[in-house]
Amino acid sequence: MGEYSEGFVAFDVSKTKHAVAIADGGRGGEVRFIGEIASSPAAVERLIGKLAGRYGKLHFCYEDGVIPARRLLFG
């Protein structure tokens, strides 16, 4: 575990790429746009691995345009 204890990751997904943002836990948590990544499983796994090294617990949600803000929780 690295700098923060909890992070909230949001994906805006499409067929070719995903836009990704993260918010630090707590009331004053900073919200940052990470950027766009390829939509391949390997790219998503690589990003999650990097984030897992910085946060003790990650929460994920995604929006795919069909049903906004589907939520997944990975503990």
Pairwise pLDDT comparison (34 vs 65), residue with the higher score: 34
pLDDT band at 41 (very low <50, low <70, confident <90, very high): very high
**What SS3 class is residue 46?**
helix
Q: What share of the chain is helix, strand, coil (3-state, %, to 5)?
A: 15, 55, 30
What does the pLDDT read at residue 47? 96
Q: What residue spans define the domains of the chain? A: 4-74
Distance from C-alpha of 18 to C-alpha of 28, rounded to nearest angstrom: 26
What is the pLDDT averaged over residues 55-72? 73
